Amino acid sequence: MSADTADSTTQVATRLFVGGRWRDGRAGRIPVTDPGNGRTIGTVEQADERDVADALDAAAAAFRAWSTTVPAQRGAILKKAATLLGSRAEEVATTLMLEAGKTRAEARGEIQRAVDTLEWNGEQAARVEGRVIGGAAAGSRRYSVPTPLGVVAAFTAWNFPAVLGARKLGGTLAAGCTVVLKAAESAPGTAAAIVQALVDAGLPDGVVNLVFGDPPAVSAQLLGSPVVKAVTFTGSTAVGKQLATLAASRLIRGVFELGGHAPVLVCEDADVDSVVAVTSPAKFGSAGQSCVAPSRYLVHRSLYDAFASRLTEHASSLRLGHGSDPATTMGALVHQGRVDAMLRLTQDAVGRGARLLCGGRQPERDGFYFEPTVLADVPHDADLMSEEPFGPIAAVVPFDDFDEAVELANAPEYAFAAYVFTDSIARREIAVERLKASNIGINQMAPSLPDAPLGGLDASGYGYEGGAEGVLSFTQLRLVSQSAPTR
């Protein structure tokens, strides 16, 4: 699971983890590619139907003991796993860098976020609690009891494999559930490293099981199993809808973190340099492959030319390259399909009248790169204005009044993140009230941290991850009504 920090050709062989044992998959193995140069860096084992069934059986068998484990003891394992992952941070960050095409700084930052997530959920495990409610009759009382749901099917995406893995496992394990984790085949070593930290921290056999395999087949088997009581998924809206449909047939509870198309509203009293400095790391970090990344800059006409010029200057200054190069400031996209999508969105926008201010090309080099791209005067009917770009493309559009900006911001079907830059208290209040977004940043970004709940709206999903709500998502609040004994 490790990789030499100086050699991106190091082989990374990732296996399944079922019932407390690492093992090969019965469906063979597939290659893992370094997006930064297109080379094969290892393999990942693939589960067949029998492997998935074994994982489900192991999770079901482990549930009773784990769900009745003292919450503080569950938390202690999570906190120890956080410490172990932190001690291995450099090694795991190298694996993440090679698998996901990130810069080394981005990979290190993500591993630290994963450590923080496990640590926080470890603390929260002992704080999962219900409440006492007044009785409806003399001598009676009512109280709610959080009870673990059972086996959880968890699915993580490739763009943030460490954070997403820690978030799924942290919340479910703190709640007392057992898990079958279906992680991304393109970033398997990172997921395996988190599982290994939990195992080394003392996690009992069967509590977490890690599988890889054909996504439709594995998903259908997991969500068709009678032992699975909840599903948590992070990924595209299209796949999320498919999984939600499968879950609905068995009334499986779901938490879905799906796509986004985050607007940035730049009002006439905003500072242009500050907006660019604050938002650009999120826009171009991880090559723009984030559901909360700014994608549409809606700029007051009085600042429009200055802002477009400043954003273009910044985007043009970014240096593309492999994450192992210290000079690299933007890494690769995950595969050629994402590059093709960037080309299509750019060509469509320009064909409809947008101005290409910088970028717009796939550079001639090994790996899957797309130049940081800024498009101005993007017409509202361009695909880029309604389709999540999930890449390093920024659309810049003018507005004349704040009502118009809010209307433009709310136009796509997505409703995850939105950002507003203004000194006006009135506009801030309007933004919070009227913006169709569940995660709003005012004069700053809105980071997803483990101590606060985050969930989507509309095509961006539903349910919560993070905070006490993220743990309670995997419990049933049983209402107990009790009268005093008659004698």
Tokens of 440: 């709003």
Q: Given CA atoms 199, 202, 206, 208 in this order, what sign does their dihedral have?
A: negative
Measured distance CA(217)–CA(369) in Å, rounded: 31
Q: Which of 99, 106, 110, 257 is catalytic?
A: 257
Question: Within a 13 Å sphere around the CA of 92, how many CA atoms are in the beta-carbon half?
Answer: 27
CA distances from 139 to 145, 286, 478 (A): 20, 59, 20
Closest by CA position to 99, among listed 11, 187, 9: 187
SS3 of 269, please? coil
Measured distance CA(94)–CA(5) in Å, rounded: 6
Closest by CA position to 314, among listed 261, 392, 422, 262: 392
Measured distance CA(428)–CA(234) in Å, rounded: 29
Burial of 241 per CB tally in 10 Å (0-12, 13-18, 19+)? middle
Phi-psi region of 174 (alpha: psi -120 to 50; beta: other; left: phi over 0): alpha
Q: What is the DSSP letter of 385?
A: G
Active site residue 106: no
Measured distance CA(195)–CA(188) in Å, rounded: 11
Q: Which residues lie across from 265 on neighbouring strands? A: 298, 420
Tokens of 72: 């503080």
- Taking a C-beta distance cutoff of 8 angstroms, is the pair 96, 41 a contact? no
Measured distance CA(196)–CA(59) in Å, rounded: 17
Distance of CA 303 to the CA centre of its chain: 33
Active site residue 177: no
Q: Which of 177, 267, 291, 358 is catalytic?
A: 291
Active site residues: 257, 291
